[in-house]
């Protein structure tokens, strides 16, 4: 099968490509991004099956040419400014980029080959702040975005529905909850914790860890399990449907940090930093993955503690 992946230099894309080759060693992948990905972690014998294209996703001509040359059966749209914190700092840039590149992509698919299946990656941030009786969150819960990032994701999901109903495109949408694992950028909370712990362990920084609100509870899934979920949706998801991609259990950030400190065997001070606290944040986000499980057979397989340990070991090798 032939795949086009946008945001191919990103954290999820690398793990997704590994999952694709594990599932289909004969796959051909067109990787789109503004910067060439580092795929040194992928088996050299498989790298020849990846064609990188430097693409401006706001250029319709670029997208049309790439889709025509790729002969894609599937498009997985990962490209986005994915940091909620960044969206507060640069709301116009974040919204324009995240929404407009998706709309451009749908137009290109419509013109080149409307039977291409598109996987539109959304976010649990779309649910916004909810009351305890709504937990775990089901796909039937209406969106209530409380950040610029989340507003853009809701708009993306609504536009996907318009193109399914209005133009008969084959689009499956996700509301992906927090995912983490090796190679994740330190802008994200657990990776930030793991890097700081690793640097303290190696004597590279004072024994002080800077944190935001540690009372927050999130539904974390290993990125390798998330990648398998995306492949399951490409094969078995229903057009026009929305699927929560999540583990179904919540973890308090404080507990995650304490576990990382115990793994490293260090003593340190935990210091709250006001700059790491968002203007508005969701105190608890836990999803219901029953629909995804029922329709695709996917289940999360990697224990949370295993992923945290892998993330810590990644930073120990990196710093």
Q: Mean pLDDT throughout 281-288?
A: 90
Domain at 33, CATH number: 3.40.50.720
Residues β-bridged to residue 243 = 174
Are 127 and 202 in a shared domain?
no
Residues 196 and 72 in one domain: no
Check whether residue 153 and residue 172 sit in a common domain.
yes
Same-domain status, 6 and 115: yes
Do 136 and 212 reside in the same domain of the chain? no
- How many structural domains are present in the chain? 2
pLDDT tens across 245-259, in order? 999 999 999 999 999
Same domain for 80 and 11 = yes
pLDDT recorded at residue 281: 77
Average pLDDT over residues 94-99: 93
pLDDT for position 277? 76
280 pLDDT above the threshold of 80: no
For residue 279, the model assigns a pLDDT of: 76
Could you give the CA distance from residue 178 to residue 188 in angstroms, rounded to a whole number? 10
Q: Which of 292, 177, 301 is nearest to 237 (CA)?
A: 292
Q: Output the pTM of the full model.
A: 0.95
Asked whether residue 55 carries a pLDDT value surpassing 90, the answer given is no
Total H helices, total E strands in the chain: 11, 14
Q: Are residues 200 and 294 in the same domain?
A: no
Q: Both 232 and 272 in a single domain?
A: no
Whether the per-residue pLDDT at 289 is higher than 90: the answer is: yes
pLDDT in the model for residue 148: 93
For 164-192, what is each residue's pLDDT tens digit?
999 999 999 999 999 999 999 998 999 99
Structure tokens at 251: 């973890």
Same domain, 72 and 44: yes
With beta carbons less than 8 A apart as the criterion, state whether 18 and 8 touch: no
Verify that 206 and 104 share a domain, yes or no.
no
CATH of the domain at 210: 3.90.25.10
Q: Kindly state whether residues 159 and 40 are assigned to the same domain.
A: yes
Domain that holds residue 271: 189-216+250-284+308-318
pLDDT by residue (tens digit) across 15-24? 999 999 999 9
pLDDT tens, residue by residue, 64-85: 999 999 999 999 999 999 888 8
């Amino acid at each position: 099968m032939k795949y086009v992946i946008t945001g191919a230099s990103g954290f999820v894309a690398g793990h997704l490509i590994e999952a694709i080759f594990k599932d289909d060693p004969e796959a051909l992948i067109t990787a789109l991004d503004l910067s060439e990905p580092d795929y040194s972690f992928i088996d050299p014998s498989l790298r020849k099956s990846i064609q990188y294209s430097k693409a401006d996703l706001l250029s319709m001509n670029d997208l049309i040419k790439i889709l025509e040359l790729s002969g894609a059966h599937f498009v997985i749209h990962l490209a986005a400014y994915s940091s909620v914190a960044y969206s507060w700092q640069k709301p116009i840039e974040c919204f324009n980029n995240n929404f407009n590149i998706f709309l451009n992509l749908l137009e290109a698919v419509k013109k080149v080959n409307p039977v291409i299946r598109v996987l539109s990656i959304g976010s649990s941030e779309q649910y916004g702040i909810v009351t305890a009786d709504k937990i775990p969150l089901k796909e039937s819960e209406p969106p209530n975005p409380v950040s610029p990032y989340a507003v853009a994701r809701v708009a993306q999901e609504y536009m996907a529905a318009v193109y399914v109903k209005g133009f008969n495109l084959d689009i499956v949408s996700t509301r992906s909850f927090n995912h983490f694992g090796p190679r994740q950028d330190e802008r994200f909370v657990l990776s930030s914790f793991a890097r700081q712990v690793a640097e303290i362990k190696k004597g590279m920084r004072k024994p002080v860890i800077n944190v935001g609100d540690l009372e927050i509870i999130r539904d974390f899934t290993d990125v390798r399990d998330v990648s398998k979920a995306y492949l399951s949706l490409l094969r078995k998801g229903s057009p026009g449907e929305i699927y929560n991609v999540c583990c179904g259990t919540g973890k308090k950030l404080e507990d995650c940090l304490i576990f990382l400190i115990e793994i490293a065997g260090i003593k340190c001070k935990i210091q709250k930093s006001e700059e790491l606290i968002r203007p508005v944040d969701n105190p608890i986000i836990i999803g219901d993955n029953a629909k995804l499980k029922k329709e695709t057979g996917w289940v999360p397989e990697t224990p949370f503690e295993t992923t945290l340990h892998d993330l810590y070991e990644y930073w120990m090798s990196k710093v």
